[in-house]
Amino acid sequence: MAREYPSAPILGVSAVVTAPASEPARACNLVLVRRGTQPLLGEWSLPGGAVELGETIEQAIVREVREETGLTVLPQKIVHVMDRMHRDAEGRVQYHYVLINFLCRVDSGTLCAGSDAAEVCWADSAGLEPYAIAPETLVVIRKAIASLNTEPHA
C-alpha cells in the first residue's frame, strides 16, 4: 500500500527510548530523531515507522529503532495509541498512520543516525522546547515518562 495518499490507514509504531536500567539516571534521558524523509521531513520526533507484513508490533519497534538509531531496544509496554494524519493543501489525506507508541529501554548499541534519520540525539525530557516536537508526540512522551516514575517495569 502506498504511504502517501493511502487507501486505508497504515499501522505504525514509535518508541520513547530511555537509557538502560543499568545506567544511572541522566539529564539526557530519551532518544529523538530528526526525520530524513516524509512525513515530518526535518522535524524532531520519536523513532518509529510502519509495521511490515508478517512482523509483530514488538518486532517492528525493535527493527525501526535499530534502523533509525543503531540501538537495540527492549519494548517495555504500550503507552499510547493514536492517529497521525497529515492533509495536503486541498484537504486530502496525504498520510494516515495509526501509531502504537511503546516505552522501550536500550539493550545495546551505539546511538547513530540510520536509514530514515537525518540526525539523532539524547534529549532531556524536561527540556524539549528547542526541538519543536508536535503536541501529539509530547503527550506520548509525557505519558511514558510519567509511567517510569510511577510504575515498576522490566
Name the residue ranges covered by the structural domains of the chain: 10-148
Is the confidence at residue 45, as pLDDT, over 90?
yes
Indicate the pLDDT class of residue 154, thresholds 50, 70 and 90: very low
Question: Which residues have a Cβ under 8 Å from the Cβ of 141 and sit 6 or more positions away?
Answer: 16, 30, 46, 125, 128, 133
**What pLDDT does residue 43 have?**
93
Which grid cell is 115? Answer: 536509514
Q: What is the pLDDT of residues 80-97, one digit of tens each?
A: 999 999 999 999 999 999
Considering 4, 23, 52, 119, which one is annotated as catalytic? 119
CA 136 to chain centre: 12
What CATH code would you report for 10-148?
Answer: 3.90.79.10
Q: Which residue has the cell 519494548?
A: 75
Strand 93-109 relative to strand 10-18: parallel, antiparallel, unpaired? Answer: parallel
**What pLDDT does residue 153 have?**
47
* Residue 119 is a catalytic residue: yes
Rounded mean pLDDT of 137-145?
94
**What pLDDT does residue 21 have?**
65
> How many whole angstroms separate alpha carbon 48 and alpha carbon 61?
6
**What pLDDT does residue 151 have?**
55
Pick 21 or 85 by higher pLDDT.
85
Q: What is the pLDDT of residues 47-68, one digit of tens each?
A: 999 999 999 999 999 999 999 9
Question: Which residues have a Cβ under 8 Å from the Cβ of 149 and sit 6 or more positions away?
Answer: none
Which grid cell is 69? Answer: 538509531
User: Which strands, in side-by-side order, build the sheet including 117-123?
Assistant: 44-45, 30-35, 117-123
